Chains A and B, each alone.
Chain A
């Protein structure tokens, strides 16, 4: 009697194990999907999502009904879904972590830009599953920013030295001044490359720390040398350096006679304009 019962139990267990690959309930299994979506199924083997246990249905939801009826309406389709619904689907796995946890602060979240606006799971041209090369992808929507990179004095984006995502986090970044990627926990992201401006300096230039580099520089590109926001150094400086009650910056002493070319080039003397190790007036 015992051997018979045992045979029955183990045999049944073995059958159950054997059937584990064939998904239960409303799921059809990735192999079933690949019967019709052959090209996607083939390329999917190289996709990072191929590691996900439920395969296609982990993103598209149960597909047995869709497979039986061959009806596109009976499965979740990212292409036609509203952005919040798309995000919800992706974030069910991708939420959390440093990449996405502050997404609510990001512009893409506020403008309801769906994950699939940039990422494409099936036919990615670039890593990580991007529809196009990163800069070209950003340029498709941020046309005005791309235009700034046609100016002569610019960060070397077009030359391949950097990418938009080196400074910006498309998934969102905690607000700050500026809203850029951070280095060393909470320091201005510009300092990652411009390490010599890191400080702290015994004599700081206040806007470098309190505001953003963009107070004086056009970070994407400018018609002015050194990507400055003004064509003349003295005007750029004096717009702030005019004594105004309860605001930082005061008028320079009277020997700064603007009729002299020496004085109009402020950084001739104030050469340590980003902060000085030695001089209170940023002279050395």
Chain B
């Protein structure tokens, strides 16, 4: 045999030996999933249906309660995983859908869709006429928001992984708002329409000791609200004459046209040069800007208070623009000088500068003719915020960890001065916070975590900001048996500003207990119970605008909140679940909200379950009985699984 012909044969022999290792098995496509179809009835609806819709808003009709499909195709050419999910379709106020498609090492695609209906019309909210028996909110909304969020990542987990993402959000609907003139305000109809589109793309770099992400994106935004009134006389909220004049609205058209765009950039890096040292940092920048055109035409009988001039018509045209360059950055260094100790130093800064200019041309029609004025206004809001923090985490033993640290926050802000005051207003922030904490872990059965912070501030931006405060949180978990878990938590926050011009005193407490009893992994029955007691006490003086006398804003909220759920297998896979939640609050706005439910699930075939459920929603407001409601919801349907 010639040498040249022997070599390929020998190579084949070697390869043949190598191929004795088992090749990955080719697997079949697996499809699993379920969907639940049914019908819901509203029974015995009583009380305020406007409040029911504002809080619950579930309706009658055929429903797709939920659907899930999962497709696995190992080694598939175009995909190896598809997951589809949908919930609450068929006229329900909260529809969601999600699609995940991926092929290992090639791509991962995600699409998230949500459609949220928002109805809010509480008769007592923003209603100055409620005392006169008029049950009509002047700030009500019947709108919907739709959102589509998608992301495509190529070569996920590879050293270099590019990604692209797109988001679309839109809001539309109708409502009631007010048209405001000097001395009166008129409830009028409004139509809302806005949308945002956002695009971003970037690269992720995944190395053994270094990860980095670079991202660039852009947004566009538009808002085309309209407000109108026609065909009659709108007397507004004023019930008395103003300087002998009856202020009335006969006709109105307001049209907003806002168009915005912006860019944003993000750079992120994390490095772990050694097991004892790691760094991470981010730089974030965005610059949204907007252009506005506005037209207002109104007719009626109005009064300009500054000159006591009566006018019957008004045309306002406004052009404006604003931009908000916004930079943020942070840097973290984590050092492990010894095995049990970690020291983390972090720094964060956040700063923006909103600058705006607006031009308003106003023409008033008076008995003497038309008078036009023109006004140019500029405005700005500037913020510089900084934070520096050092934390030390020490593992005293395998079961006990202690933490301590210090946080310093400081910054300054400049904004426009309050109405009728010239110039701008400046505010500052200076805060030192001492941090402490502990974690105790005894085997797998018991753990306890405590976090405490105490702060002293010399300046705050606002009168109600966190200032001289103490915050504590303790959380514990005890697994008394394999099937019994007890958890509890306690949180407290005290905040004070002793400055006599502010004199804020705020306290909140939250104590919670929960029990999870799941004997035999809940196969036959299980019980979950939780209870929380929450209180808020707040007191802060303010100056009553009409006389500058000092009054006190007091707020009290004493709440008892709980939930329970018992799940029982009654017969051959048939299960019953009963429970619900309640919220009872006393104090400044006493409310009671009960939501019991019962659900039965009966298998009628190997893959078909019949489900029936009942929900009750009962809402009581002690001081506003007109807003109470009670509703039974009854639903039945089939859940089919594959």
List residues of A whose CB falls within 8 A of some B CB.
2-3, 6-7, 10-11, 13-15, 17-21, 46, 51, 79-80, 82-84, 95-98, 101-102, 104-105, 110-113, 127, 139-144, 146-148, 150-153, 156, 159-162, 174-177, 182-187, 192-193, 195-196, 198-204, 206-207, 209-211, 215, 223-226, 229-233, 235, 238-262, 264-265, 267-269, 271, 277-278, 280-281, 283-284
Contact = CB atoms under 8 A, between A and B. Distances in A.
Contacts of A278: 256, 292, 294, 316, 318, 320, 358, 360
Nearest to B139: A267
Nearest to A3: B6
Contact of B296 (A20, A207, A265, A284): A284
Given A195-B221, A199-B290, A206 B330 contact: no
Tier of interface size on chain B: 35 or more
B221 A102 contact: no
Contact of B127 (A185, A203, A265): A265
Contacts of A261: 128-131
Residue in A14, A143, A207 with the greatest tally of chain B CB atoms within 10 Å:
A143
Contacts of B16: 14
A231 B356 contact: no
B10 A7 contact: yes
Contact of A186 (B328, B460, B540, B583): B328
A202 B357 CA distance: 6
Interface string B66-89: 000000100000000001000110
Given A10-B10, A185-B284, A206-B413, A150 B582 contact: yes
B350 A203 contact: no
A168 to B, nearest CB: 16
A245 B105 CA distance: 60
B94 A159 contact: yes
Given A17-B17, A141-B487, A226 B120 contact: yes
Given A110-B451, A160-B87, 9 more contacts: A111-B437, A111-B475, A140-B514, A140-B516, A144-B532, A151-B585, A198-B288, A211-B462, A251-B418
Nearest first, the 9 A-B pairs at minimum CB distance are: A96-B211, A250-B418, A14-B17, A14-B14, A147-B532, A143-B512, A161-B94, A202-B356, A185-B264
B114 A161 contact: yes
B169 A141 contact: no
Given A143-B532, A196-B171, A97 B213 contact: yes
A152 to B, nearest CB: 5
B482 interface: no
B383 A210 contact: yes
A269 B180 contact: yes
Interface stretch (B243-251, B393-401, B570-578, B634-642): B393-401
Where chain B touches its partner, the secondary structure class is: strand
A185 B419 contact: no
Nearest to A186: B284
A14 B237 contact: no
B338 interface: no
Given A161-B114, A209-B383, A253 B465 contact: no
B496 to A, nearest CB: 14
A233 B139 CA distance: 13
Given A175-B330, A184-B286, A249-B463, A151 B418 contact: no
Contacts of B421: 250
Interface in B239-284: 254, 256, 258, 260, 262, 264-266, 268-270, 272, 278, 280, 282, 284
Contact of B178 (A139, A253, A260, A268): A268
A243 B418 contact: yes
